[in-house]
Amino acid sequence: MAAKPRRNASSENRIRVVLVAHGEAAGAGLIENFRISWRTLSHAAHVMRLPAPLRVMICTLGSLRKRLANRPGSIHNDMTQRQAIALQQALGDDPDNQYEVVVAFASAPPYTEALIANSDSADRLFMLSMIPSDSRLSCGLICHPLKAAGDAARRRTTVLARLWDSPKLTAVHCEHIAQHFPAIESGSPCCLVLVLHGTIVKDEQGRKPDFHTGEAEKAEYADALKSALLAMPERPWQRVELAYVNHGVGGQWSSPTLPELLTRLGSEGVGSVVAYACEHLVDGGETSQLPQVLAAGPVPETHCLPCLNESGAFIDYLAERVREAAADAAGRTCGPCPLERLGTR
C-alpha cells in the first residue's frame, strides 16, 4: 500500500516520487517465485544470451529449491515500502509542492512500466532508482519503459540515479557502518568486506559486453567508499576488501566472489570478517543469505551488517535529492547517460 500523500492547496505542484527497486517474492509460493524470476531473466535476456528453455529451467529449479527448503519470503518489498513511508514523512510540509511517495518494482507488482503509464494525476514524476550503480539492468529498466511511453510522459518525468558518485551517500554509508559495527570478540585484526552485486564483464565468447553493464560505476562507487572507510580515524577495521554476489549466467561475472575472498582471507590468517552489502540499499533475499556464506568460509569470526533500510540519515539524503530535483524547473535527468547519448542503454 502506498504512503498517503499530504493534502494541501490545489495550487501546489503535485509531485509523485517513486522508489524503484528490483522486487522480490514475499512468500515461498511456486507461482510467485517463478513469475518474479521469469521477469528478472526476461530483462536480462534483452542483453544476454538466455534462451527461453534455459530461463524456464532456471526459474523452475529456483522456485522448487526455495519451496523444498521452506525458506521464508523476502522482506525486500516490505522494506522498500517502509522507506517510502519514511520519505513521505521526511519531505514534511512544503509550501510549494505536494509529494506522494510510492514504490514500484522491476520484477514484482506494482511494475515500473505500469506506474509510468498511469501517472497522469501528477504534475511531475520523479523516478528514483534504488540500485546505486547505473546500468542497463538498473536505472535502464526505468529509462527504456519511459522512452516507450511517449513524449508527454518523458516531459513530466525526472529520473534520479547516479547514486554511485555521490559523496553524501558515501558519508551516509560510513556513518551507518560505524554505528552498527560489532565488537570483535576474538580481538584479532578485522577485515571489512564491501559486498556488491556483480555484473557481466565478458560474454560467453570472452568479449566485452556491448551493453551498459555498470562495471565502471560499481568500481568508482566501491573505491570511493573504501577510501573513505580507510581514512576514518580510530576505525575498528584494519583493512577493507571488495567481493561480489554473482548469478553465473551469460558469461564471466565480477570477481572475486564472496566465497573466493573468504578462502583467500582465511589462507592469510585473517581472524575476523564483517560484511556489508553496500550496493543493496534494503535487506532482502541476497543479504539474508550472507551470514550462511560467511559461516561456511574458513574465517573463524564473521558478522554481517544491516543495510541502510529506513535509517534516518539515508532517508534525509533521499529527501534532499528530491527537494533539489523539485527546485530544478528544467527537470534535468540524472546526468550523462548512454540512453541520451546513444539512443540505447
Distance CA 322, CA 257 (A): 34
User: Can you tell me the distance from the alpha carbon of 142 to that of 164, in angstroms, rounded to the nearest whole number?
Assistant: 17
| Mean pLDDT, the chain, integer | 89
- Asked whether residue 330 carries a pLDDT value surpassing 70, the answer given is no
pLDDT at 2 > cutoff 60: no
Q: List the end-to-end C-alpha distance of the chain, in Å, as a whole number.
A: 31
Q: Do 13-164+312-342 and 167-304 fold alike per CATH?
A: yes
Average pLDDT over residues 106-122: 87
Q: Per mean pLDDT, which range of 38-42, 102-106, 215-219 is the poorest?
A: 38-42
* CA nearest to 276, candidates 186, 123, 170, 188: 170
Phi and psi at residue 271, in whole multiples of 5°? Answer: -95, -20
Q: Does domain 167-304 have CATH number 3.30.470.20?
A: no
SS3 159: strand
State how far the alpha carbon of 126 is from the alpha carbons of 96, 287, 313, in Å: 16, 27, 20
13-164+312-342 folds as: Rossmann fold (3.40.50)
**What DSSP element (H or E) covers 253?**
strand 251-253
Please say whether the beta carbons of 275 and 303 come within 8 A. Answer: yes
The listed range with the strongest mean pLDDT (10-24, 42-56, 327-341) is 42-56
Whether the predicted pLDDT of 260 surpasses 70: yes
Give phi and psi for 51, each to the nearest 5: -55, 150
If you ran DSSP here, which 8-state letter would residue 164 be given? Answer: G
Contacts of 223 (CB under 8 A, 6+ apart): none
Interstrand relation of 301-304 and 97-105 (parallel, antiparallel or unpaired): unpaired
- Alpha-carbon separation of residue 50 from 177, 203, 342 (angstroms): 37, 12, 24
What are the structural domain ranges in the chain? 13-164+312-342, 167-304
Residue 204 clears pLDDT 90, i.e. is over it? no
Q: pLDDT tens across 292-325, in order?
A: 999 999 999 999 999 999 999 999 999 999 999 9
DSSP letters of 311-333?
-HHHHHHHHHHHHHHHH-TT---
